[in-house]
Amino acid sequence: MKKFYSLSSSSLVSKSIIFGKQFFQSSCSRGFSISKCTLKNEKKRILFFGSDDFSLNTLKLVHSEFMRNDLANICVVCPPDRKTIRRNSITNVECVVKTFCKENNVPFVHPIEKYKTPEERKKIQRLDLQDLPRDPLLFGEGNNHDFNPKFDLGIVVSFAYFLQPGLLNQFKSPDGRNSNIFNIHPSLLPRYRGPAPIHHALLNGDSDTGITIMELDDKEFDVGHIVKQKRIPIEPSETFTQLHDRLSKSGAEMMVEMIEECNFNFSSLERLRQSDMTETIKPTRARKVNFEMGEIDLTKEDVLTIYNKWRALEKIHVPFHDHGHDTKLILKNVSYPILDETMTNYEDIGTLFIDNTNSLCLQCKGGKLKINILQVEKKKEMNSKDFINGNKSKLPMKLVSTSE
C-alpha cells in the first residue's frame, strides 16, 4: 500500500519549523484506498483546468474513479487549439486534455480568447469569470446567468492561465473561510515555485523532490496554503521525462486520495501556510528553461554538472568545428559519467575520443561522459558508432580550449 503524507490535525506550525525532519516523519501518514461506499450518495460536480500530459494523468484518474463509477460529473476547461503553419497551410493542434475529453465524452469548454498577438500570449494570461463562455455546463440554463453553484471542487493542473478572484471566489467553502479549488505542483513548496520545478530539481542534482497540493492564491502563483505533500526520491540517472511521468502519476493519486479522505468536505482539511515553512525551506524560483541553458562550458563545468544538465534538458550542446564551419555538437543521449578517470596524454578536458571499450567519450572535469546519440546542428542525428565511423581519422578531437 502506498504511503501519502497529509497534514496532521494538530501542531502544524510547530512541526513546520523543523519541516525537513518532522513534517514528513511525524505528521499523519496513512495509506488510503478508493472506497466508493464512503462517498455521499448524491453526484458531485468537478471543474477541471488542465492542458498537457502532466495534467492528463489526474484527469484520467479522477474520471476513472468518480465519473465512470457515477459518483461525480466532470467538466473541463482547456486552452483553445494552437494554430501551426506547415507548408503554407494552417493546422489546428488540440491539447491532449481536449483529445481525451472528446474520446471519453467528457464535456469541455475553452476560455474566451482575448490575447490576439504573439506578444500578448507571451505574457501571463489571466482568467476570470467573464472569460468563460456562457455555456450551460458552467452557467445556469435560460435567463439564469449565475455561475453554476453545484461545482463542489476545482482541480488545476499544469494550466497556463492565472485564475482571478472573480473565478476563485466561486469555489469558496460554505463558511467562506476556505477554498475548494486546488492545484497540483511538482515540487516540495515553497522550493521551486514557478513553471519549471522538475527541470531545476535535476539541474541542481537534488536527491529528492515531491508533490504539493495547495489552495490557489488570487495574487501570486504557487504561494497558496498547503493541504498535502509527498516527498519523492530522484534516481541518480533519472531524466526529465522519467521524473515528469512519475510525478504526474503521484500527483493524480494524491488528488484522488485527498478527495476520498475528506469525502468532498474540503473545509476539514488542515492548511499550512508556506510562510511558516520558510525557515527550513528557502523559497526559490524555477524559471522557464530554453535551448541556451543547454550550452555547456567545458572549461568551467564538471562532469556531474554537465550530466545533470543533460538529465534536465535531455539534450546539451558544445561548440564544434565541422568542415571549416563553427557549429554545435548536440548530445542527445549520454550515460552516467565515469568519475575520476585517469587521463592519457590526449584525454584532456574538452577532448572527444574513443575509449578502450570502443565507446565515444567526452573528457570533462572530474571524469568522462559516454555519448550514445548525437547530432551536428542542422544535420541528422546519429548513434555514436556512426559518428566514429565517419570521423575516425579525426579522433581524438579537441572541442574547446581549456584556457580561461
Residue 402 has pLDDT above 60, yes or no: no
- Give the pLDDT score at 236: 96
349 and 223 within one domain = no
Q: Give me the number of domains the chain comprises.
A: 2
In a domain, 396, yes or no: no
Same domain, 211 and 257: yes
Mean pLDDT of all residues belonging to the chain: 84
240 and 353 together in one domain: no
In this structure, is residue 241 part of a structural domain?
Answer: yes
At 7, the pLDDT band (50, 70, 90 cuts) reads very low
Those residues whose C-beta lies under 8 Å from the C-beta of residue 88, and which sit 6 or more positions away, are none
Integer CA distances (angstroms), 291 to 158, 201, 274, 317, 372, in order: 21, 17, 32, 9, 20
Under the banding of pLDDT at 50, 70 and 90, the label for residue 209 is very high
| Same domain, yes or no: 113 and 228 | yes
> 245, 277, 309: which is the final residue of a domain?
277
- Residue-level pLDDT at 177: 78
Residue 283 maps to a domain: no
Residue 285 lies in a domain: no
Share of the chain above pLDDT 70, in %: 81
Q: 306 and 270, same structural domain?
A: no
Whether residues 261 and 306 share a domain: the answer is no
Domain boundary among 277, 308, 336: 277
Residues 69 and 168 in one domain: yes
Whether 145 is in a domain gets the answer yes
Same domain, 60 and 195: yes
Last residue in a domain, options 249, 277, 305 = 277
pLDDT of amino acid 174: 74
Residue 20 has pLDDT above 60, yes or no: no
Give me the mean pLDDT over the 111-115 stretch.
81
Model confidence at 208, in pLDDT bands (50, 70, 90)?
A: very high
Q: Are residues 119 and 235 located together in one domain of the fold? A: yes
Write the secondary structure of 299-339 as one string of H (helix), E (strand) and C (coil): CCCEHHHHHHHHHHHCCEEEEEEECCEEEEEEEEEECCCEE
CATH of the domain at 265: 3.40.50.170
Query: In this structure, are 376 and 245 located in the same domain?
Result: no
* 21: in domain: no
108 found inside a domain? yes
Asked if 248 and 364 sit in the same domain, the reply is no
**241 and 124 co-located in one domain:** yes
pLDDT band for position 249 (cuts 50, 70, 90): very high
pLDDT at res. 178: 84
168 against 119, higher pLDDT = 168
* 358-381 confidence digits (pLDDT tens): 999 999 999 999 999 999 999 999
Total-model pTM: 0.85
Q: Select the more confidently predicted residue: 194 or 116.
A: 194
What is the CATH number for 351?
3.10.25.10
The proportion of the chain whose per-residue pLDDT surpasses 90, expressed as a percent, equals 58
Residue 23 lies in a domain: no
Show the domain range for 94: 44-277
